[in-house]
Amino acid sequence: MRIVAGKHKGVRLDAPDGSATRPTSDRARENLFNILGHGEHAEKLRGGRVLELFAGTGALGLEALSRGASHCTFVETGKPALAALRANIAKCRAEDRSKVDTSDAFHLSRQSQPCDILLLDPPYKDGAVEQAIRTAMDAGAVGPETLVIAQLDPKTAWTLPDGFAQLDDRRYGAARFLFLMRD
């Protein structure tokens, strides 16, 4: 697993042993960020503030930083994942543009301002996407212009949260990305 493009292109990322995390494949991440970097939401990425819930290794947030995001807050509770996340932030020399929050993403601490992009890869269980988005909204992380990108298993059932519009739905192998925004 590596950073696909941008300032930190080619940096190899650590991942904890075992199945506690599901790092997004390089191919899926590349496709996701090609959509972000060249689509109508490109300005949110360049210079934007990113919040990554269930960060795991931090691959999504670090890819965002590599491609021009100004700051990323990574939310993760698992000890092995936190060790890999902190090592990966250091490998990318992104300490000054990163914050690691060890709060439970389903009980997120109050955010000082909404993020431009919310990335989330919750546990693959029914209702997790909706619960995580509601929690982020309650914490002040989701504003009217926040682009929400949720990764889920293509077989996971989900319901569009109230007050949101689905902009896109993309599948790359075992990954499915939902692009949402408040309506």
Residue 139 lies in a domain: yes
Residue 2 lies in a domain: no
* pLDDT surpassing 70 at residue 21: no
Residue 23 lies in a domain: no
* C-beta separation of 121 from 60 below 8 A: yes
**20 band by pLDDT with thresholds 50, 70 and 90:** low
**CATH number, domain at 163?**
3.40.50.150
* pLDDT surpassing 70 at residue 69: yes
- The number of distinct structural domains making up the chain is 1
Residue 16 lies in a domain: no
Residue 145 lies in a domain: yes
Residue 8 lies in a domain: no
- Residues of the chain above pLDDT 70, percent: 97
Q: How far apart are CA 136 and CA 143, in angstroms?
A: 10
Report phi then psi at 150, rounded to 5. Answer: -110, 130
Q: How far apart are CA 142 and CA 43, in angstroms?
A: 17
Q: What pTM value is reported for the model?
A: 0.91
Tokens of 5: 């493009």
* C-beta separation of 176 from 25 below 8 A: no
Higher pLDDT, 128 or 93: 93
Note the Cα 154 to chain centre separation in Å: 17
Residue-level pLDDT at 175:
84
Residue 103, domain extent: 32-182
- Residues of the chain above pLDDT 90, percent: 55
